Amino acid sequence: MSHEIVLTGIKPTGMPHLGNWVGAIRPTVELSRQAERQGFFFIADYHALTGLKDGKQLRRFTYSVAAAWIALGLDPDRIILYRQSDIPEVFELSWILACFSPKGLMNRAHAYKAQVQKNQESGESDLDSGVNMGLYTYPILMAADILVMGTHRVPVGSDQQQHVEIARDLAQYFNRQYGRDIFTLPEALIDPASAVLPGIDGRKMSKSYKNYIPLFDAPDAIKKLIMRIETDSSQPGDPKDPDSSTIFQLYRVLANPAQTESLARAYASGIAWKDAKEELWARFDETFREPTRRYQELMANPAELDKIFAQGADKARAQASRIMTKVRRAVGTR
Ligand code: TRP
């Protein structure tokens, strides 16, 4: 195998925000540009269905997440970009892997355990309340995504590490049973540099706290959010501490070292909060102006995205069917 296969899935559950960009999109796009790797990137639309039961929304998020990743530098001519639902081999393998998954392994998976704990805390008598089988077997579908392409590395956030380990376990059970190395054993690739960003209220930037800065909103709306970032009560002229300032933490991820250095000096000499926010807005606008244009262009032209998905599905299915031929022969359905 000449190229190392790098694969990751993106769940289409909403518009990406600045925290997603710093923590996931930017490092993954950089990785996708490395010549010695073959990248597989897909929109995990059937994973989203475990929680999202609105067809219109799921369809819209699928396009908008793909458009966002392309606008931010993922190049569909270099990597393989596809929709999970376009690859029937994934769902076939998912069943086969389910037959190798001890039930207890699923009991220990994070998303399921979190729901059980929530039920416990709320005094719910049925501890499995709110758990559908899609959520329960989520890690099996994810293992199929990974193993069906012969993946070596899976760039993910640390919350997904357990799922990649489950995929590896299932691959090992299978290989052991059939005495052959049919599946490549995948490894999670966790970017240590992927920082956690504060949101406009200073807590971790997150959809659930509603404190995030979206990437592709109208400029006025984004500027308004930036002007609302919480600060302490120090006045213009008072020296300010960059390390405890949300504005500074956000600025740093958008700026080059010289710019960061210069804002740190401005903090020491008492820059007004309002001016610091203006500086942050300028960096944000410069970084995302062109991607926003490209994003809007793609969203206005879904036929272009459909073409990209179709091309990606062709290439991804070619790879998947090579591996599935071996799998079917091993289990005896062919
Ligand atoms: N579970 C991942 C998430 O929520 C998305 C995902 C689905 C994925 N299949 C995958 C990630 C395969 C990596 C590999 O973020």
- Give the model confidence (pLDDT) of 93-119 as tens digits: 999 999 999 999 999 999 999 999 999
Alpha-carbon distance of 15 to 250, in angstroms, equals 19
Residue 207, annotated as binding a ligand: yes
Q: What confidence score (pLDDT) does residue 196 get?
A: 80
Which residues, in sequence order, are bridge partners of residue 204? 198
Residue owning tokens 């990209």 = 308
Alpha-carbon distance of 330 to 182, in angstroms, equals 9
Residue 19, annotated as binding a ligand: yes
Q: Is the pLDDT of residue 3 over 90?
A: no
Q: Is the pLDDT of residue 1 over 60?
A: no
Q: Is the CB of 8 under 6 A from ligand 1?
A: yes
How many A from CA of 10 to the centre of ligand 1? Answer: 6
Q: What confidence score (pLDDT) does residue 191 get?
A: 77
Q: What confidence score (pLDDT) does residue 111 get?
A: 93
Contact 81, 307 (CB under 8 A): no
High-pLDDT (> 70) share of the chain, %:
99
Q: What confidence score (pLDDT) does residue 2 get?
A: 66
Residue 204, annotated as binding a ligand: yes
Q: Quickly state the pLDDT bin for 193 (edges 50, 70, 90).
A: low
How many A from CA of 63 to the centre of ligand 1? Answer: 17
Contact 163, 111 (CB under 8 A): no
* Burial of 1 from C-beta contacts in 10 A (0-12 / 13-18 / 19+): exposed
Average pLDDT over residues 295-323: 98
Q: Is the pLDDT of residue 194 over 70?
A: no
Average pLDDT over residues 26-34: 91
Question: Residue whose CA is closest, atom 8 of ligand 1?
Answer: 9
Query: In sequence order, which residues have a C-beta less than 8 Å from that of residue 7 and are 6 or more positions away?
Result: 39, 40, 41, 42, 145, 146, 149, 151, 153, 154, 186
Average pLDDT over residues 223-229: 97
Q: Is the pLDDT of residue 252 over 90?
A: yes
Q: Is the CB of 324 under 6 A from ligand 1?
A: no
Q: What confidence score (pLDDT) does residue 147 get?
A: 98
How many A from CA of 181 to the centre of ligand 1? Answer: 24
Angle (CA) 71 77 80, round 5°: 90
Q: What confidence score (pLDDT) does residue 23 get?
A: 87
Q: Which atom of ligand 1 is nearest to the CA of 10?
A: 5
Residue 217 identity: D
Q: Is the CB of 254 under 6 A from ligand 1?
A: no
Q: Which atom of ligand 1 is nearest to the CA of 145?
A: 12
Q: What is the mean pLDDT of the chain?
A: 95
Q: Is 283 helix (H, G, I), strand (E, B) or coil?
A: helix
Q: Report residue 17: phi and psi, to 5°.
A: -120, 180
Enumerate domains of the chain plus CATH numbers: 4-196+302-331 (3.40.50.620), 219-295 (1.10.240.10)
Ligand 1, pocket-test mutation among 42, 145, 149, most atoms within 8 A of CB: 145
Which residues, in sequence order, are bridge partners of residue 214? 17
Residue 20, annotated as binding a ligand: yes
Q: What confidence score (pLDDT) does residue 181 get?
A: 94
Lowest mean pLDDT among 10-19, 77-86, 269-278: 10-19
> Residue 281 to residues 206, 220, 221, 290: CA-CA distances in angstroms?
20, 10, 11, 15
Distance between first and last Cα of the chain: 26
High-pLDDT (> 90) share of the chain, %:
91
Q: Is the CB of 168 under 6 A from ligand 1?
A: no
Residue 197, annotated as binding a ligand: yes
Q: What confidence score (pLDDT) does residue 158 get?
A: 86
